[in-house]
Amino acid sequence: MKKAILYTLCAILFISLGWSLNLLFTSPKLKKSIAQIVPRPLDKYTIENLSKANVPAGKIELGKVIQDTSTFTSYEFIHYFDPTLTRKPAKKLSGMINIPKGEGPFPLILMIRGYVDKEKYTIGEGTQHGAEFFASKGYITVAPDFLGYGDSDPEPNSTFEARFQTYTTVMSVMASLDSVSKWDKKRSFIWAHSNGGQIALTVLEITGKNIPTVLWAPVSKPFPYSILYYTDDSPDLGKYLRSEIANFEELYDPNLYSIHAYYDRIKASIELDQGTADESVPVKWSDDLAKSLLNLNLDLNYQLYPASDHNMLPLWNQAILSNLDFYKRF
């Protein structure tokens, strides 16, 4: 009899304990406390937090000559910076800079490329032809390679940190432009293509600067759809990336990292160019982007190039001349 009573009391105790623990660990307050304990290293890369970050100025140092023409000289440049913006050891960034012949000073275009396979990448690839055109017309062009490309240090292992550090890379280069010789330190512009357009839009949102910008077929859909769209080209058809996104979304709100939620922060004049035969960025994406920006009363010139592909071929010359006219307005 005593044993039965003891067993009964023990059972009641365990049931009560389990019920209490269940209440405790399903409590919203406790869940919030636990969430605060879990490391969230990517919080610093939200658009809001990056807009408050202190980006120190560095130096853009000229390296080897890549080519020397009658109108400009192309150099490799090296820039040391902290992509985390947290005073960690600096990483090396390489890129291509074109400086026109003559005393100057000259206006400057920051050129941001789209996706290129690392195995095929060479310094300045993705912007080289446009950069050469602008340099021949009297513009300094600066095109960062990004971490993991060219002679730059490796990018981080984290898929998303590597992505977000493209923004801090551009922010650091922008903060360091005063070190570029022959720049007039007044007129600066942006030219960006494809995924580089997404980077440019994000940086314009982060900084709120009125930097006249040309976008060629920018990737402008919300994150993470903007990268999921392209996963059918990967060998595993996106399986790895989908798992990474699932892990990311358990800890973070993707909207805090997505351009679509911050268009109202953009202050720049923009020329948006889109080929109607583009198979990499659907025309509808640029249609929707133009509508969103025009609804915000931005100074936007949206141009479609009939039967032209992702690189504006066969109307490349027409597009690049339009870009030159756009920059001349300023």
Residue 83's identity, in one-letter code, is P
What confidence score (pLDDT) does residue 81 get?
96
**pLDDT tens per residue across span 254-282:** 999 999 999 999 999 999 999 999 999 99
Whether the bond between 39 and the residue before it is cis, its omega within 30 degrees of 0, is no
Q: Rounded to the nearest 10 degrees, how much is the dihedral formed by the CA atoms of 328, 174, 144, 329?
A: -10
Rounded Cα distance, 267 and 270, in Å = 9
What confidence score (pLDDT) does residue 11 get?
55
Residue 196's identity, in one-letter code, is G
Q: What angle do CA 233, 161, 209 make, to 5 degrees?
A: 100
What is the Cα gyration radius of the chain? 25
Residues 6+ apart with CB under 8 A from 297: none
What confidence score (pLDDT) does residue 277 get?
98
Whether the bond between 306 and the residue before it is cis, its omega within 30 degrees of 0, is no
Rounded Cα distance, 224 and 159, in Å = 12
Rounded Cα distance, 217 and 142, in Å = 20
CATH class as words, domain 44-328: alpha beta
- Asked if 312 contacts 305 with a C-beta cutoff of 8 angstroms, the reply is yes
> Token digits for 266?
């953009």
Rounded Cα distance, 28 and 35, in Å = 10
What confidence score (pLDDT) does residue 31 get?
46
**pLDDT tens per residue across span 60-112:** 999 999 999 999 999 999 999 999 988 888 999 999 999 999 998 999 999 99
> Token digits for 273?
């160019």
Sign of CA dihedral 145, 147, 152, 154: negative
Low-confidence ranges of the chain (pLDDT < 50): 24, 31, 34-35
Identify the helix (H) or strand (E) that includes residue 3: helix 2-25
